[in-house]
Copies of this chain bind each other. A is one copy, B any other.
């Protein structure tokens, strides 16, 4: 089976790149957008819009609108891990996929390659190209699965 390359050439290495892309589209590189981008570049893990608003000192509404545009541009992506707010990260850095324990809420983040066998199997069985970046693999982590097993034996 042939499939698309994992990492499409990452077009946005720094803020200037993003600025150029925005201008090319007739959009503006405003101060709030720059601040949002700076917050994203500074973050070392996915962050909520609220957190970005605080870090960047930009109105929450504008953060959401800015992130929407940046997402269209392919600069950022967001993920829904658990029940909290969506978490945003630069696309280049978001190249991780997630497993979440429904019970203890533990989040395991793995490199996409480690899920390729699983992905291939799902593709074969269902024709579905699975991704666990936006929504994680849910279930029970090893520890909680073990505990449930013990409870069951009672």
Contacts and interface: CB of A to CB of B under 8 A. Distances in A.
Nearest to A137: B130
* Complex copy number for this chain: 2
B135 A140 contact: no
Given A118-B125, A127-B142, A4 B149 contact: yes
A25 interface: no
Contact of A117 (B125, B131, B137): B125
Q: How large is the interface on A (under 10, 10 to 19, 20 to 34, 35 or more residues)?
A: 20 to 34
Q: Of residues A99, A129, A132, which shows the largest number of chain B Cβ atoms within 10 Å of its Cβ?
A: A129
A138 B132 contact: yes
Contact of A139 (B121, B131, B145): B131
Contacts of A134: 102, 138
A45 interface: no
Contacts of A137: 122, 128, 130, 137
B128 A140 contact: yes
Contacts of A149: 4
3 closest A-B pairs (Cβ-Cβ)? A127-B142, A135-B138, A130-B139
